[in-house]
Structure 1
Amino acid sequence: MGLFDFLNKGEQKPVQPANKPATGNTDFFGNTNQPAATTQGDSYTVVSGDSLSKIAKHHYGDASKWHQIYDANKATIGSNPDHIEVGQVLNLPKI
């Protein structure tokens, strides 16, 4: 753009700032901050004989990762991680 192009444009409106992201858990760059437990992963339906450690062993290859499954599903499981019911659908977070 040359000098004459600038002069011939006349009066223009200033550039409007971009819409601000919704308030909440956003960082400086506008990225949403979500806990790792809510990261999308697979879902699993509990069958007879299952436990969180068995599910973790089958899905992750490490039974000690049952804590991650429990943390991601506290609302579904409740306060006792040993009490899961047949038919419950659990979210298996990506680790």
Structure 2
Amino acid sequence: MKARFGQIIRRRRLLAQIGQEALADLAKIHRTHLSLIERGMRMPTLYVVQQLAHSLATTMVELMRDVESQEEPGDEPPPLPRGRPKKKKPAARKRLGSH
């Protein structure tokens, strides 16, 4: 998902003819952070997604729709385990015999 989201941001930025530094300034984030997002190396917080969407004259919903439209059927994450994690039993201690 990180890679797809980054591709969407980069594509929309290029379509809007905005440089990385300009978009980063508009979104109030550092240019290197935007670069990491676009390269799929960082997943932004919801606040940053909102800032990027606003700066690209779109909505968070539209960005997520773009991401979902690029998903492949096998891209879903594995299901979360159900219930509480099982506790590991401590190793049995050897008892010393009484004298």
TM > 0.5:
no
Instruction: Name the larger-Rg structure.
Output: 1
TM-score bracket, normalised by the shorter chain, equals under 0.3
TM-score normalised by length of structure 2 = 0.23
Of Structure 1 and Structure 2, the greater helix share is in 2
Give the number of the structure whose residues are more often strand, by fraction: 1
Please report the TM-score for the alignment, with normalisation by the length of structure 1: 0.24
